[in-house]
Amino acid sequence: MLFGIGTWFFQEYTTTEALKRIWDTGFRAAEIWMEHPLRTGESITDIRKLVQELFVKVTLHATSYDLNLTSINSGIQAESLKQARHAVKMAAEIGADLMVLHPGRLSTLYENKAATRQRLYSILRDLDSMAADENITIALEIMENKPKEIFVSLQDVMEFLEFDWERIRLTFDIAHTRTIMDPAAFLEMLPKNSIAHVHLSDGDDKYIHMPLGKGSIAIDDVLSSLSSFYTGLVIIEGYIPGRGDATARENFNYLERRGWIGKHP
């Protein structure tokens, strides 16, 4: 497994400055949040050049704020799909081979979750075809247990896996799955080849995303289970406003002390 961290830890800075700070912390992989370069207007060419100079691997997190792929508002749904398609293109442009995607959610609690998931699958077919054309994997993120979320439980995920997707797999978010059940137990029940990407943070009953070692998740147990079959990226999440550098280093030091990551040069 290769550990990295998201640029959103350093959202007060430009994308390129965020990438430099990630490298300085010791990580050799990064996840670029698409909101970052869209907000700063930076050149994708400049970002790709820096990525090639510093990192073993990068991924892209598609835009998610104020969007909803399954919205009952046709304008919001159309814009959400437009931005997801743009993210597939941007992932290819920055040299990433994987894009994280949020699955959409209910617009109102009066909607039917099963019917909304069927609408999601229809939308994903379009993105699956595009991802194949761009040679990108889309990693659909398992979300936290909140009333409007539609892609949370093991049953939700197994239903999704019944479809014959060409380039869509899963982002296993350890802190999200903790809101349903023990993440290691959840992991054991999933087909191993369904997981293309992992998000890592600690959490407890009050906070979903926390620095490693600050919550109640048995981090070592989950990583041990993952390491038996998974060789991809593990991207750390858990932004704390104004504490990007300190939190990133705390997370790195935690993994280093536990032997999950080697000492950086």
Q: Alpha-carbon distance 202 to 24, whole Å?
A: 23
Q: Is the dihedral of CA 24, 86, 61, 80 positive or negative?
A: positive
* Residue tagged 């919550």 (tokens): 215
CATH number at residue 140: 3.20.20.150
Asked if residue 265 is part of any domain, the answer here is: no
Cβ atoms of 173 and 141 within 8 Å: the answer is yes
What secondary structure does DSSP assign to 79-111, as a single string? HHHHHHHHHHHHHHHHT-SEEEE---B-SSTTS
pLDDT of residue 263: 53
pLDDT per residue over 14-34, tens digit each? 999 999 999 999 999 999 999
- Tokens representing 147 are 């009333």
pLDDT of residue 49: 95
pLDDT of residue 265: 42
pLDDT of residue 254: 96
Q: Is the dihedral of CA 165, 196, 37, 48 positive or negative?
A: negative
| pLDDT tier at 264, thresholds 50, 70, 90 | very low
Across residues 191-203, what is the average pLDDT? Answer: 96
Across residues 130-156, what is the average pLDDT? Answer: 97
- Total number of domains in the chain: 1
Asked if residue 235 is part of any domain, the answer here is: yes
Burial of 251 (0-12, 13-18, 19+ CB in 10 A): buried
Q: What is the CA radius of gyration of the chain?
A: 18
- From the list 27, 199, 10, the residue with the least C-alpha distance to 102 is 199
Asked if residue 70 is part of any domain, the answer here is: yes
Asked if residue 182 is part of any domain, the answer here is: yes
pLDDT of residue 191: 95
Asked if residue 61 is part of any domain, the answer here is: yes
Asked if residue 133 is part of any domain, the answer here is: yes
Q: Alpha-carbon distance 205 to 196, whole Å?
A: 27
Per-residue pLDDT at 257 exceeds 50 = yes
Q: Alpha-carbon distance 169 to 160, whole Å?
A: 9
Per-residue pLDDT at 219 exceeds 90 = yes
Using CA atoms in the order 76, 82, 86, 89, what is the torsion angle rounded to 10 degrees? 150
Asked if residue 262 is part of any domain, the answer here is: no
Domain that holds residue 146: 2-257
% the chain with pLDDT above 90? 94
pLDDT of residue 240: 82
Cβ atoms of 66 and 78 within 8 Å: the answer is no
197 three-class SS: strand
CA atoms within 13 A on the CB side of 21: 23
Asked if residue 98 is part of any domain, the answer here is: yes
- Tokens representing 65 are 């704020």
